[in-house]
């Protein structure tokens, strides 16, 4: 409900404004005017559901203002405020369709609450606020056919003659509605309209006499409301573009996912089709997973991450791709524990719970390392042993001895062997061989590669040695192992 209080006595209008906000009426916005001409200017700039009008005012009295309101906004409910218990005043007010006639001497918070409660019932669902919210809803739901020309009449003529922009705000609160008017420095706006709340965001449409620096405007809004995050659209210049301004602002909100900055202004969304680029990067990563090329997997994931951060595609698309990457890792990960299979259903939930792209990246990197690293990456290992795990997971196909590993981490082979045994309880040479065999087992189960090709891929070039060690570890020959799983499938 949008209310205008018109009275030349500051103490009266401020008391009424304070009183109506104490009623905690949802989505209530109030404004004040000191006389009829001031009120007329506001009424021409914006729409109001209810107007309290003092009878005796300088420049333009209440009865004259009632006549103008009847012309400008016939659906607005008017309530007369008067110091005079005069039948002629009351009769003239009623002739101009005033809803109530209140004596200031008898005005109380209880009376105000009662009147506003009746106004609310009378307005719904035909109130200006309700119609504007309908317009917002139809726009965001892409129901353009429902937006008839009458909706454009809800907005002041300034939106045809002056530049305007739309603000969409996350983390808004009830106070934001009532405080927006003063907090954004009224002087810089010629008018504004609260469009409503939709999709967990609040929307305001603001017009200005001439273009202002939107960064300064955004900074002032951040100073007033430090907890909010918001998007400011670019400038628009015609009533029939209001839907586009709303959609521009709404689409910008999604880009806040990629930054920690409290606001974003007029980000130029790409019109190019990024689907092919994303699909190609996604496919490369899935191939890296299926063929256990962990080094390329991490390189291509970093490449994908950088591309997403720079191009900011739909967050829904990104979350679906990242969920698919982890799901594929879960299926293909060597010797994965039953616990991880049990928790696979939680992966998508965890991804969608990330508040921004930085959180999502951290979660993805940690979870991917838990999948592809030979030991639980969350375990507390020293920096040297952690580096060994990195080297084995990414370069296992090129490692054939402890000396090869030691050269990567720049440590003495004997010292490295003792350190690894102390922290993991495992022999480093045996651990490297078992990791290669576990990956070869997964390749046997999930691909049609020849056994000799699999042995070469994991860095064991002697096929007889490979078959011997595989049988020792899995108690069966590689070809029999494949057939057993093929029969199960």
What Cα–Cα distance (Å) separates residue 424 from each residue in 98, 225, 229, 385, 399? 84, 51, 46, 9, 19
- Considering 49-58, 86-95, 310-319, 408-417, the range whose residues carry the highest mean pLDDT is 408-417
> In the predicted model, what is the mean pLDDT of the chain?
83
pLDDT at 461 over 60: yes
Indicate the CATH number for domain 383-488: 1.10.10.60
Tokens of 17: 């404004």
Label residue 182 by pLDDT band (50, 70, 90): low
What pLDDT shows up at residue 42? 85
- pLDDT, residue 333, reads 66
More confident residue, 71 or 419: 419
Rounded CA-CA distance 267/273 in Å is: 17
What are the tens digits of pLDDT across the range 232-270? Answer: 999 998 888 999 999 999 988 888 888 888 999 985 545
Which residues lie below 8 Å from residue 300, measured CB to CB, with a gap of 6+?
Answer: 281, 284, 285, 288
372 burial level (CB within 10 Å; 0-12, 13-18, 19+): buried
pLDDT at 429 (0 to 100): 93
Query: Among 129-133, 267-271, 384-388, whose mean pLDDT is lowest?
Result: 267-271
Confidence of residue 337 (pLDDT cuts 50, 70, 90): very low
Query: Count of CB atoms within 10 A of residue 318's CB?
Result: 20
Tokens of 215: 């960064």
Give domain 129-265's CATH architecture.
2-Layer Sandwich (3.30)
Task: Tell the burial category of 134 from Cβ atoms under 10 Å away from its Cβ (0-12, 13-18, 19+).
Answer: middle
pLDDT at 59: 85
Place of tokens 């020309």: 149
Domain 2-124 -> CATH class: alpha beta
Question: Is 60 exceeded by the pLDDT of residue 489?
Answer: no
**First CA to last CA distance, the chain:** 64
Residues 6+ apart with CB under 8 A from 209: 162, 190
Q: State the pLDDT confidence band at 344, using cuts at 50, 70 and 90.
A: low
> Quick check: 271 pLDDT over 60?
no
Structure tokens, 238: 């015609």
Confidence at residue 415, expressed as pLDDT on a 0 to 100 scale: 94
Q: Where are the domains of the chain?
A: 2-124, 129-265, 277-353, 383-488
pLDDT at 90 exceeding the cut of 70: no
Please report, rounded to a whole number, the percentage of residues in the chain having pLDDT higher than 70: 86
Query: If DSSP codes are grouped into helix, strand and coil, which group holds residue 29?
Result: strand
The predicted-structure confidence for 146-178, as pLDDT tens digits, reads as follows: 788 878 878 877 788 889 999 999 876 656 665
């Amino acid at each position: 409900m949008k209310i205008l209080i018109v009275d030349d006595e500051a103490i009266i209008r401020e008391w009424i404004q304070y009183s109506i906000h104490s009623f905690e009426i949802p989505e209530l916005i109030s404004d004040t005017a000191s006389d009829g001409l001031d009120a007329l200017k506001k009424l021409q700039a914006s729409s109001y559901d209810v107007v309290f009008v003092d009878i005796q005012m300088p420049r333009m009295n209440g009865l004259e203002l009632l006549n103008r309101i009847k012309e400008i906004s016939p659906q607005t409910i008017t309530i007369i405020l008067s110091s005079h218990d005069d039948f002629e005043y009351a009769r003239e007010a009623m002739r101009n369709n005033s809803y109530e006639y209140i004596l200031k001497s008898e005005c109380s918070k209880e009376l105000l609450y009662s009147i506003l409660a009746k106004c609310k019932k009378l307005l719904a669902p035909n109130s200006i606020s309700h119609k504007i919210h309908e317009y917002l809803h139809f726009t965001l739901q892409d129901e353009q056919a429902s937006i008839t020309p009458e909706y454009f009449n809800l907005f002041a003529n300034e939106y045809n003659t002056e530049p305007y922009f739309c603000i969409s705000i996350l983390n808004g609160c009830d106070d934001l509605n009532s405080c927006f008017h003063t907090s954004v420095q009224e002087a810089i706006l010629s008018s504004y309209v609260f469009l409503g709340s939709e999709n967990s965001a609040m929307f305001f449409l603001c017009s200005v006499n001439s273009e202002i620096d939107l960064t300064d405007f955004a900074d002032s809004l951040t100073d007033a409301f430090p907890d909010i995050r918001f998007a400011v659209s670019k400038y628009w210049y015609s009533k029939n573009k209001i839907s586009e301004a709303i959609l521009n602002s709404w689409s910008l909100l999604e880009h806040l996912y990629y930054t920690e900055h409290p606001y974003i202004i007029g980000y130029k969304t790409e019109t190019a089709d990024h689907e092919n680029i994303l699909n190609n990067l996604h496919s490369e990563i899935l191939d890296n997973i299926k063929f256990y090329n962990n080094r390329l997997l991490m390189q291509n994931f970093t490449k994908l991450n950088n591309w997403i951060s720079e191009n900011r595609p739909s967050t829904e698309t990104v979350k679906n791709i990242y969920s698919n990457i982890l799901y594929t890792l879960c299926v293909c990960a060597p010797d994965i524990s039953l616990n991880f299979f049990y928790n696979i259903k939680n992966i998508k939930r965890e991804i969608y719970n990330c508040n921004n792209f930085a959180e999502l990246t951290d979660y993805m990197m940690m979870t991917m390392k838990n999948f592809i690293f030979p030991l639980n990456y969350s375990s507390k290992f020293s920096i040297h042993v952690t580096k060994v795990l990195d080297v084995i997971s990414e370069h296992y196909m090129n490692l054939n001895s402890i000396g090869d590993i030691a050269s990567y981490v720049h440590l003495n082979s004997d010292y490295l062997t003792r350190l690894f045994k102390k922290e993991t309880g495992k022999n480093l040479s045996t651990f490297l061989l078992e990791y290669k065999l576990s990956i070869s087992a997964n390749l046997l189960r999930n691909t049609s590669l020849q056994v000799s090709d699999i042995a070469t891929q994991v860095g064991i070039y002697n096929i007889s040695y490979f078959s011997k060690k595989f049988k020792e570890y899995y108690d069966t020959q590689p070809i029999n192992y494949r057939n057993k799983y093929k029969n199960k499938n």
